[in-house]
């Protein structure tokens, strides 16, 4: 079975079990960290297939199901702070996440008359498998944590449970006026201009 067929099958099984689909969270993702000039087509395509095309297909199929039920429903796309700014070595991932925001906004506009909402949730650094890969690639876990804490105003990782709570809000009627939004859940990461100084500065005043 091809993976597009597997996605169709997933939706059919969900409908068979629950009777209908009211919400969807697209949270699949893979990543390569590799210099732009060294990324090959296979690596590029792998990231786009999982992070972008898979989300597009599942969004489309679920939205069709929601329409057939008479309309209504909420879809949440898990994107990334990479939709705001980039890091070296992240070209395929950035392309996929920007693409997710683009098609989701288009879908939000088209599906709004049907009462189907589509929003994007863009987390910062979260305690997931990708974080484990980041730590494994660093000289030491302490150096890695110190570096990232200097770039996150909240000075910690986000937990998967916190992101889940944001998804619950976006799926629920509490966010009924929201569609086409890209919501950043990042402990202030995208608001930080540069990393914190590794020293204590004196206050700068007019005197």
Residue ranges per structural domain of the chain:
3-123+158-185
CA-to-CA dists, residue 40 to 34, 36, 102, angstroms: 10, 9, 24
CA angle 43, 49, 54 (to 5 degrees): 155
CA-to-CA dists, residue 15 to 3, 8, 9, 73, angstroms: 19, 11, 10, 14
| Residues 82-131: tens digit of each pLDDT | 999 998 999 999 999 999 999 999 999 999 999 999 999 999 999 888 88
Alpha helix stretches (DSSP H) within the chain? 3-18, 41-48, 54-68, 91-111, 129-137, 141-150, 160-171
CB 166 within 8 A of CB 74: no
- Cα–Cα dist 96/142, whole Å: 30
- Cα–Cα dist 177/131, whole Å: 33
Q: Which of 32, 93, 147, 199 is the catalytic position?
A: 93
Whether 32 is a known active-site residue: answer: no
CA-to-CA dists, residue 59 to 17, 24, 26, 62, 104, angstroms: 19, 8, 8, 5, 9
In sequence order, the β-bridge partners of residue 75 are: 24, 118
| Residues 128-144: tens digit of each pLDDT | 888 888 888 899 989 99
Q: What superfamily in CATH does domain 3-123+158-185 come from?
A: NAD(P)-binding Rossmann-like Domain (3.40.50.720)
- Cα–Cα dist 49/43, whole Å: 10
Mean pLDDT score across all residues of the chain: 94
Share of the chain above pLDDT 70, in %: 99
CB 183 within 8 A of CB 166: yes
Report residue 203: phi and psi, to 5°.
Answer: -65, 140
Which pTM does this prediction carry?
Answer: 0.92
């Amino acid at each position: 079975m091809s993976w597009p067929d597997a996605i169709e099958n997933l939706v059919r099984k969900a409908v068979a079990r629950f009777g209908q689909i009211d919400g969807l969270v697209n949270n699949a993702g893979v990543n390569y960290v590799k210099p732009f000039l060294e990324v090959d087509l296979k690596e590029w395509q792998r990231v786009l297939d999982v992070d972008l095309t898979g989300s597009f297909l599942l969004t489309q199929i679920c939205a069709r199901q929601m329409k057939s039920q008479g309309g209504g429903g909420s879809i949440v796309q898990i994107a990334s702070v990479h939709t705001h700014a980039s890091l070296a070595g992240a070209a395929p991932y950035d392309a996929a996440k920007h693409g997710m925001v683009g098609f989701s906004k288009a879908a939000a506009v088209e599906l709004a008359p049907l009462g189907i909402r589509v929003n994007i949730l863009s987390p910062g650094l979260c305690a997931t498998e990708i974080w484990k890969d980041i730590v494994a690639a660093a000289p030491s876990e302490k150096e890695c944590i110190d570096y990232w804490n200097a770039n996150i105003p909240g000075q910690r990782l986000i937990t998967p449970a916190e992101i889940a709570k944001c998804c619950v809000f976006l799926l629920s009627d509490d966010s009924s006026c929201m569609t086409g939004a890209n919501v950043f859940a990042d402990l202030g990461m995208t608001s930080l201009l540069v990393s914190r100084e590794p020293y204590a500065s004196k206050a700068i005043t007019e005197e």
